[in-house]
Amino acid sequence: MTATIRPQPGILDIALYQGGASEIDGHAAPLKLSSNENPFGASPAAVDAMGEALAQSHRYPSTDHGSLRAAIAEVHGLDADRIICGVGSDEILHFLCQAYAGPGTQVRYTEHGFAMYRISALAAGATPVEVPEAERRVDVDALIDGLGEDTRLVFIANPSNPAATMLTDAEIARLAEALPEQCLLVLDGAYAEFAEGYDGGAALVDARDNVVMTRTFSKAYGLGGLRVGWGYAPQHVIDTLNRIRGPFNLSGVALAGAEAAVKDRDWVAECIRVNADERARLIGGLRQLGIASDDSFANFVLARFADEAEADAANAHLLSEGIIVRAPKSYGLPECLRITVGRPEDNDRVLSAMTAFRGAE
């Protein structure tokens, strides 16, 4: 880099995002439980739709994503005109910072929040402000304290990641009510499907003009490799975001796969049912071994150990057994391991490995 050719302020303060590991030396086919992927994969209908779409790869895809937005609207009972689709929900978060934040403004998020909140804020030239949580749970009062005329966006994940804890609808509504008039509340609902009875904040979006909801096809729908997400927002926000969205940001294959996936309600319902059963079994088994965790409303469990050294030792043992989980040190949780809820046989392996680890201590 030369002294005169430099990026915008904030860009060089961004640490590269680190995804979950996928390989272990000496293990040809490790069990990957580090990225909260659907262990059953995508709906067969989605796989078939993507195969058919490949034959049309010489054609440009739809620019307005109309068919996918209509399918999402039908399944979730939403207004299709107020839906925007992006390259994962990450792109929607980035659009929001690009459109509403900037130099001299603040973007607030919680201390264990998704790394992209800080990254997108810095990329827009805004000041990211990290707010303490209360025992791995979003603290609404702490978020409200310090709000000011320079606050433009407040990001919270509900259910949260990596803790898998959750705010009530009443708590979220209280936060939305307290925001200054120039500020948007963004509800990141990447794991909303796994929280029974939760609409991801859709009703609050309909009731207010300062709330945005984002969702993804990467988790419950098993399409992490396809990179499709969406947002639901007041019309004035959607109109703004579509001005900066690239006209062909989603491929024809991605659009076809996501549309088929959202329409296959039985597949995703079964995946969610198995996750709930296996999540309870994994949490219970770990607790019997003296490994604590909060109740989870997502498709993963945040296991807590006595200290960082014990968490490191447990992680090393899992790796020796060919099992990859996530050590969320970069999220301020060095004494924890985040474990994706896998298939029944996957969770058997985790519990067996942790039993052996406890026995060897």
Residue that wins the pLDDT comparison between 11 and 124: 124
Closest C-alpha to 258, from 111, 50, 62, 57: 50
State whether residue 177 is helix, strand or coil: helix
**Mean pLDDT value of segment 288-293:** 96
* pLDDT tier at 29, thresholds 50, 70, 90: confident
- Give the pLDDT confidence of 225-268 residue by residue, as tens digits: 999 999 999 999 999 999 999 999 999 999 999 999 999 999 99
Q: Which domains does the chain have, with CATH numbers?
A: 20-41+266-360 (3.90.1150.10), 44-263 (3.40.640.10)
The Cα 350–Cα 324 span in angstroms is 10
Q: Is the pLDDT of residue 1 over 60?
A: no
The DSSP code sequence of 293-336 is -PPPSSSEEEEE-SSHHHHHHHHHHHHHTTEE-B--GGGT-TTE
d(CA 279, CA 285) in angstroms, rounded, equals: 10
Which pair of tokens denotes residue 99? Answer: 């459109």
Can you give the pLDDT at residue 63? 93
What three-state secondary structure class fits 266? helix
Is 186's pLDDT higher than 70? yes
What separation, in Å, do the N-terminal and C-terminal C-alpha atoms of the chain show?
50
By CB atoms closer than 10 A (0-12, 13-18, 19+), residue 316 is exposed
Mention every residue, 6+ apart, whose C-beta is less than 8 A from residue 85.
Answer: 65, 68, 69, 228, 229, 230, 249, 250, 255, 258
The pLDDT value recorded for residue 5 is 73
Q: Which two tokens stand for residue 296?
A: 């989870």
Strands (E), 137-284: 151-157, 184-188, 211-216, 229-232
How confident is residue 11, by pLDDT bands cut at 50, 70 and 90?
confident
Instruction: Identify the residue whose tokens are 């970069």.
Output: 330
Sign of CA dihedral 211, 215, 220, 224: negative
Decide the pairing of beta strands 31-32 and 323-324: parallel
Give the H/E segment covering residue 110: strand 106-110
- Residue 233 CA to residue 178 CA, distance in Å, equals 18
Per residue in 104-158, pLDDT (tens digit) is 999 999 999 999 999 999 999 999 999 999 999 999 999 999 999 999 999 999 9
